[in-house]
Structure 1
C-alpha cells in the first residue's frame, strides 16, 4: 500500500478503500445512462423513472442504517452494504426491462444509503488525531478516484459495445468487493454506549442538526451547477467552443484535488465550520454572476470568464464540503454518528434529486436573472452558518451538562 504522508495505518486503509471504490464508481456512473439507453435499449424516460424511484426509496434507509451501524459497529455494516452493492452492480449485466432495472437499482440505493451512513461513522472512529486533516485528505483521494474512473469510462464510450460496458459494470462491482475486503484491515470498532433514557431516533429530534441538514441539502445544489447547468449554458448561450464544457469540468476536479487538503485541514471545529459555510456562500455569490457574464463576452473572453468562474466556484465547493465535515461530524454525538450521518445523507440526496428540476427552471428559464438569484440564494443559506453553529454548540453543551449531572441515588444503586 502506498504510504500517505501524515496518516496512520487505519487512515491509510480507509483512504485506499474509498479511493478504490470511487474509481469503480467513476468507471460506470459517467456512462450508465448510455448503457441503459444504447445497449439495453430502454427509453430514456424509463431509465430516468427507474433511477428516480430507486433514489427516492433509498432515502428511507439512511437513518435506520446509520442507527444499525451505531449499534453493531460501522465497519461491519459498511462491509455488508458494500457486498450487497457488488452483487447488485453485477446483476445489471442481466437487465433487459424497466422493472428489472428498477428493482436492482433500488437494492443498490438502499445499500448505498446504509453504507454512506456507516462510512460517516467509520470516518469519525478512524480520523481521531487530526480529523479535519484526515477528512480533507480523504475527500482529495475520493475526488481523484472519480476523475481516474471517469477517464477510464471513455474507453466504453469510444468502443460502444456491450462487452465494453460489461467491463465497466463488473469493474465497478469489483471495486465494491475490494473496498469491503480492505476494510478487514481496520480494527473492529465496538459500538459506543448511548446515555440512559436517550430517544432511539435522537437525530430526528435534534432541531439544530435537522436545520443544518436542510441547509446542507440546499447548498448542495452547487454540485449540479458545474455538472449540468453550466455545460448547457456554455453550449446554448455563449460563443465559447464546445470543448470548454469538458475543460471547465476537468479544471473543477483539478482545483478540488489540489486545494482540498490545504484548505480543509484548517477547518477543524464546528465554529470553523460555521464560518466556512458562510464563506462558501459568498464565493458562490461571486461565481454565479461570472457564469452569467459568459453569455455577453466574445469567444476567448467567454472561455476566460468560464475558467475564472469555475475556479471561484471550486473554492466555494471546498469550503462548503469542509464546513459539512466540521459541522456534520462536530455537532453529532459520538455514539450516534451513524444515525446523524444517515440523516445528513438523506438531506443531501434529497437536494441532489431536486437540483436538476430547480436549477433548469430557475437558471436556464430566467437566464441572467436566474444566475443572480442562485448566487443570492447560496449567500443567504451560507449566512446562517455561524448562527447555526452557535445554536448547535449551545444545545450540545446543555445535553452534556444534563448527562454529567450528579445522580441523587446512592452510589451503590447507580449503574
Structure 2
C-alpha cells in the first residue's frame, strides 16, 4: 500500500491468491501511470469547475450545489451494480469502458447550457466515477497478490495526491487567466487524462478468471445486491463512513474554525492543506508497510481513531482565550500533523479490511458498496462537522473525537465477526 503467512486472515477470507503470471509484475506500474494520468486532470477540474459552472455556464451557486447533491445521490449506489458488472464481465473491460464514459461526461460539461443538462452530465459523471473506482479495485485484486495490495494502494494514493497537486497548480493558472478558453482547456485536459487512463488500463493483462462462488457467498444469494445481506460487511462499511468524517475537517471545518475562532492568520488554511498533501504524497507508503493482514489492519484503524481524537483535542485548544497568533499557528500545525497521521493509518487499514473481507468472486460489487462511504462523507460530512464544530464549538471537537475513537474501536470486533462468518461458511 510485507508478506503474510499462508494462514493469514486475509488469505483465509478471500481464498488463495492466484500465482503471479509473467505479465503481472508490470501491473502495479501501469496502475500507477493510469492513476497519475487522470489525477492531474482531476486536480485542475476540482479547483475550476465551480467557477466555470457559475461564471461561464451561468448557473447559480445553489443550482450547482443541488445538482451535485442529486448526482452523487444517484452515483454513489451505482457503484454496487457497476462493480457487480465488473465481477461478471471482467474488471479490465469494465474499467476501460467506465474510464471512457467518464471522459465523455467531462467533455459533455463543455456543451451544457442549462440546469437540467448540468444535472444529467453530473449524474453520468458520478455514476461512472463510482463504478470506475469499484472496477479498478477488482482489477487490482485480480493482478496483485493479497499480501501486496495495501502497499500498491498506498503508492496509488501517493501518486493520486501528487497528481492532484500538479493539476491544482494548472487549474490555478486557468483561474488567473479567468477566460472561457482557459476553463475549456482544463476540461479538455481532464477528458484527455481519462482517455489516457482507459488506454493504460486496456494494456493490463486480463485479471484472473473470476472464481466460482464460495460457500459463504452462495449462502448469501446470487445477484448484484448480495453485499446488502452481508451484515458484518455492512456494519464495517458504516464504521468506515464514520471514520471518513475526517475528510471535511481539513477542507471545510478547519478553514471556518481558523477564521472565526482562532487568532491564526488566514494563510494558515493554505499552509495546513499543503502540509497534508505533501505528507500523504511522501509518507503514505511508509505508513502502510506494517499493514499486511486483517489483524494489523484493525490495529491500524484503532490507532488512527486515537490519533484523530488527539488531533480534535488539539484543534479545540487552538481557540483557547489569550492564545497569541504564533501560538495558535503552532497548535494548529500540531493538530494538522496528528490529522494526517491518523488519515494515513486509517487509509491503510481501511484498504486492507475492505479488500480482505470481500469474497474473491464479488470484489467489484463489495468495493462499490464499501467505496460509497467516500461520497457519503463528502455530502453529509459538511453538515455534520459544521454543526458540531462551528455550531457547538470546542465541545463539538471533543464529540467528533469520541466518534472517531468509538468507530475505530468497534472496527476490530466487527472485522473478526466478518472473518468468522466466512470461515464458518467455508
| TM-score normalised by structure 1 residue count | 0.92
Contact 1:84/1:111, CA 8 A, preserved across alignment: yes
Contact 1:71/1:192, CA 8 A, preserved across alignment: no
Matched, 1:15 2:32: yes
Q: Aligned match of 2:213 in 183, 187, 194? A: 194
The structural deviation recorded for 1:306 is 1.1
Deviates further, 312-321 or 194-203: 194-203
Rounded to whole Å, the distance in 2 between the matches of 1:42 and 1:313 is 35
Contact 1:274/1:388, CA 8 A, preserved across alignment: no
Rounded to whole Å, the distance in 1 between the matches of 2:156 and 2:284 is 9
Matched, 1:146 2:146: no
Rounded to whole Å, the distance in 1 between the matches of 2:340 and 2:38 is 23
Q: Aligned match of 1:181 in 199, 218, 224? A: 199
Rounded to whole Å, the distance in 2 between the matches of 1:88 and 1:255 is 32
Contact 1:86/1:177, CA 8 A, preserved across alignment: yes
Q: Aligned match of 2:259 in 213, 230, 235? A: 235
Deviates further, 273-282 or 122-131: 122-131
Matched, 1:62 2:79: yes
Residue ranges of structure 2 left out of the alignment (5+ in a row): 1-23
Matched, 1:40 2:66: no
Rounded to whole Å, the distance in 2 between the matches of 1:264 and 1:294 is 30
Contact 1:222/1:317, CA 8 A, preserved across alignment: yes
The CA deviation string for residues 236-276 of structure 1, in whole angstroms up to 9 with x for no partner, is 22221211111100101111111111111211111111111
Match of 1:331 in 2: 357
Matched, 1:321 2:347: yes
Residue ranges of structure 1 left out of the alignment (5+ in a row): 1-6, 401-415
Match of 2:12 in 1: none
Aligned ranges 1:269-348 → 2 under 5 Å: 269-296=293-320, 297-348=323-374
Deviates further, 375-384 or 131-140: 131-140
Match of 2:232 in 1: 208
Match of 1:79 in 2: 96
Matched, 1:262 2:286: yes
Match of 2:407 in 1: 381
The structural deviation recorded for 1:193 is 2.4
Higher-RCO chain (CA-CA 8 Å, sequence separation at least 6): 2
- How many pairs were matched up? 394
Rounded to whole Å, the distance in 2 between the matches of 1:153 and 1:303 is 28
Match of 2:249 in 1: 225
Rounded to whole Å, the distance in 2 between the matches of 1:136 and 1:60 is 25
Rounded to whole Å, the distance in 2 between the matches of 1:195 and 1:9 is 29
Matched, 1:160 2:178: yes
Rounded to whole Å, the distance in 2 between the matches of 1:234 and 1:8 is 46
**CA RMSD, Structure 1 to Structure 2 (Å):** 1.4
Match of 1:404 in 2: none
Contact 2:244/2:373, CA 8 A, preserved across alignment: no
Rounded to whole Å, the distance in 1 between the matches of 2:214 and 2:265 is 60
The structural deviation recorded for 1:352 is 2.2
Q: Aligned match of 1:125 in 142, 154, 176? A: 142
- Structure 1 runs (4+) greater than 3 angstroms displaced: 195-198
Matched, 1:399 2:425: yes
Q: Aligned match of 1:171 in 184, 189, 208? A: 189
Rounded to whole Å, the distance in 2 between the matches of 1:257 and 1:126 is 24
Match of 1:410 in 2: none
The structural deviation recorded for 1:348 is 3.0
